[in-house]
Protein backbone atom coordinates (compact mmCIF):
# COMPACT_ATOMS: atom_id res chain seq x y z
CA UNK A 1 0.00 0.00 0.00
CA UNK A 2 2.86 2.38 0.77
CA UNK A 3 4.33 1.89 -2.70
CA UNK A 4 1.07 2.86 -4.39
CA UNK A 5 0.80 5.95 -2.18
CA UNK A 6 4.36 6.98 -3.05
CA UNK A 7 3.66 6.35 -6.73
CA UNK A 8 0.50 8.49 -6.58
CA UNK A 9 2.29 11.33 -4.81
CA UNK A 10 5.19 11.29 -7.26
CA UNK A 11 2.85 11.07 -10.26
CA UNK A 12 0.78 14.02 -9.07
CA UNK A 13 3.92 15.99 -8.24
CA UNK A 14 5.26 15.39 -11.74
CA UNK A 15 1.96 16.41 -13.34
CA UNK A 16 1.75 19.61 -11.27
CA UNK A 17 5.38 20.56 -11.98
CA UNK A 18 4.93 19.91 -15.70
CA UNK A 19 1.71 21.96 -15.78
CA UNK A 20 3.27 24.91 -13.95
CA UNK A 21 6.35 24.67 -16.18
CA UNK A 22 4.18 24.69 -19.31
CA UNK A 23 2.27 27.73 -18.01
CA UNK A 24 5.49 29.58 -17.14
CA UNK A 25 6.97 28.78 -20.57
CA UNK A 26 3.75 29.87 -22.26
CA UNK A 27 3.81 33.18 -20.38
CA UNK A 28 7.51 33.62 -21.19
CA UNK A 29 7.15 33.00 -24.92
CA UNK A 30 3.88 34.91 -25.42
CA UNK A 31 4.43 37.74 -22.93
CA UNK A 32 6.07 40.12 -25.34
CA UNK A 33 9.39 41.87 -25.17
CA UNK A 34 10.64 44.83 -23.15
CA UNK A 35 12.54 46.56 -25.95
CA UNK A 36 10.71 46.10 -29.28
CA UNK A 37 12.68 47.04 -32.37
CA UNK A 38 16.08 46.59 -30.78
CA UNK A 39 18.56 44.00 -31.97
CA UNK A 40 18.68 42.01 -28.71
CA UNK A 41 15.11 41.28 -27.64
CA UNK A 42 14.50 40.80 -23.92
CA UNK A 43 11.32 38.91 -23.00
CA UNK A 44 9.17 40.57 -20.33
CA UNK A 45 8.90 37.48 -18.15
CA UNK A 46 12.55 36.44 -18.06
CA UNK A 47 12.60 36.94 -14.28
CA UNK A 48 9.58 34.65 -13.85
CA UNK A 49 11.26 31.89 -15.84
CA UNK A 50 14.55 32.25 -13.95
CA UNK A 51 12.74 32.23 -10.59
CA UNK A 52 10.81 29.08 -11.54
CA UNK A 53 13.97 27.28 -12.68
CA UNK A 54 15.75 28.40 -9.49
CA UNK A 55 12.87 27.11 -7.37
CA UNK A 56 12.93 23.74 -9.15
CA UNK A 57 16.68 23.55 -8.71
CA UNK A 58 16.47 24.45 -5.02
CA UNK A 59 13.75 21.89 -4.29
CA UNK A 60 15.68 19.22 -6.20
CA UNK A 61 18.91 19.99 -4.38
CA UNK A 62 17.17 20.07 -1.00
CA UNK A 63 15.36 16.78 -1.63
CA UNK A 64 18.56 15.13 -2.80
CA UNK A 65 20.45 16.19 0.32
CA UNK A 66 17.55 15.23 2.59
CA UNK A 67 17.16 11.77 1.06
CA UNK A 68 20.93 11.18 1.06
CA UNK A 69 21.11 12.01 4.77
CA UNK A 70 18.09 9.87 5.63
CA UNK A 71 19.47 6.95 3.59
CA UNK A 72 22.82 7.31 5.37
CA UNK A 73 21.15 7.24 8.80
CA UNK A 74 19.06 4.17 7.90
CA UNK A 75 22.04 2.33 6.43
CA UNK A 76 24.18 3.21 9.44
CA UNK A 77 21.83 1.13 11.61
CA UNK A 78 21.68 -1.87 9.24
CA UNK A 79 25.03 -1.89 7.44
CA UNK A 80 27.67 0.55 8.65
CA UNK A 81 30.12 -0.44 5.89
CA UNK A 82 27.74 0.50 3.06
CA UNK A 83 26.76 3.67 4.95
CA UNK A 84 30.38 4.76 5.08
CA UNK A 85 30.81 4.02 1.37
CA UNK A 86 27.80 6.19 0.53
CA UNK A 87 29.26 8.92 2.72
CA UNK A 88 32.53 8.69 0.80
CA UNK A 89 30.61 9.31 -2.43
CA UNK A 90 29.05 12.45 -0.95
CA UNK A 91 32.43 13.69 0.27
CA UNK A 92 33.96 13.11 -3.18
CA UNK A 93 31.05 15.00 -4.75
CA UNK A 94 31.52 17.91 -2.33
CA UNK A 95 35.25 17.81 -3.08
CA UNK A 96 34.45 18.02 -6.79
CA UNK A 97 32.38 21.14 -6.11
CA UNK A 98 35.25 22.69 -4.14
CA UNK A 99 37.84 21.90 -6.82
CA UNK A 100 35.69 23.13 -9.70
CA UNK A 101 34.84 26.31 -7.76
CA UNK A 102 38.56 26.90 -7.24
CA UNK A 103 39.18 26.35 -10.97
CA UNK A 104 36.55 28.93 -11.96
CA UNK A 105 37.57 32.29 -13.33
CA UNK A 106 36.53 35.40 -11.46
CA UNK A 107 37.43 38.04 -14.02
CA UNK A 108 34.38 40.26 -14.64
CA UNK A 109 32.94 39.98 -18.14
CA UNK A 110 32.53 42.99 -20.40
CA UNK A 111 28.97 42.73 -21.67
CA UNK A 112 27.54 45.65 -23.62
CA UNK A 113 24.43 47.05 -22.02
CA UNK A 114 24.59 44.83 -18.93
CA UNK A 115 24.53 46.67 -15.64
CA UNK A 116 23.44 43.85 -13.37
CA UNK A 117 24.88 42.82 -10.06
CA UNK A 118 25.87 39.25 -10.99
CA UNK A 119 29.05 40.09 -12.90
CA UNK A 120 31.21 39.66 -9.81
CA UNK A 121 33.84 37.09 -8.92
CA UNK A 122 31.68 34.90 -6.66
CA UNK A 123 28.86 34.48 -9.20
CA UNK A 124 31.28 33.88 -12.06
CA UNK A 125 33.17 31.22 -10.10
CA UNK A 126 29.87 29.60 -9.06
CA UNK A 127 28.73 29.47 -12.67
CA UNK A 128 32.03 27.92 -13.74
CA UNK A 129 31.71 25.41 -10.89
CA UNK A 130 28.34 24.18 -12.20
CA UNK A 131 29.59 24.04 -15.79
CA UNK A 132 32.78 22.11 -14.91
CA UNK A 133 30.86 19.76 -12.61
CA UNK A 134 28.38 19.10 -15.42
CA UNK A 135 31.27 18.28 -17.77
CA UNK A 136 32.74 15.87 -15.23
CA UNK A 137 29.40 14.16 -14.58
CA UNK A 138 28.59 13.84 -18.29
CA UNK A 139 32.04 12.34 -18.92
CA UNK A 140 31.54 9.86 -16.08
CA UNK A 141 28.11 8.88 -17.40
CA UNK A 142 29.52 8.24 -20.87
CA UNK A 143 32.39 6.24 -19.37
CA UNK A 144 30.03 4.10 -17.27
CA UNK A 145 27.78 3.43 -20.28
CA UNK A 146 30.76 2.35 -22.37
CA UNK A 147 32.25 0.19 -19.61
CA UNK A 148 28.83 -1.35 -18.89
CA UNK A 149 28.46 -2.28 -22.55
CA UNK A 150 31.95 -3.80 -22.63
CA UNK A 151 31.25 -5.76 -19.44
CA UNK A 152 27.97 -7.05 -20.87
CA UNK A 153 29.74 -8.20 -24.05
CA UNK A 154 32.54 -9.91 -22.11
CA UNK A 155 30.10 -11.74 -19.78
CA UNK A 156 28.32 -13.47 -22.68
Domain assignment of residue 34, yes or no: no
Domain assignment of residue 47, yes or no: no
Domain assignment of residue 70, yes or no: no
- The whole-angstrom separation of Cα 63 and Cα 38 is 42
Domain assignment of residue 119, yes or no: yes
1: confidence class by pLDDT, cuts 50, 70, 90: low
Can you tell me the mean pLDDT for 45-67?
A: 92
pLDDT digits (tens, 9 = 90+) for 88-114: 888 888 999 999 999 998 888 888 877
* Count of the separate structural domains present in the chain: 1
* Residues 6+ away with beta carbon under 8 Å from 80: none
Domain assignment of residue 43, yes or no: no
Domain assignment of residue 30, yes or no: no
pTM over 0.75: no
Owning domain of residue 90: 79-156
Domain assignment of residue 83, yes or no: yes
Amino acid sequence: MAVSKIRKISSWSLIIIMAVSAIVLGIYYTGGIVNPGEEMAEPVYTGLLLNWVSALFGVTLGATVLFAISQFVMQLKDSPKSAISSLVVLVVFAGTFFITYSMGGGTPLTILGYEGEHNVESWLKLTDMWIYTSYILMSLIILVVILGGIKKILNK
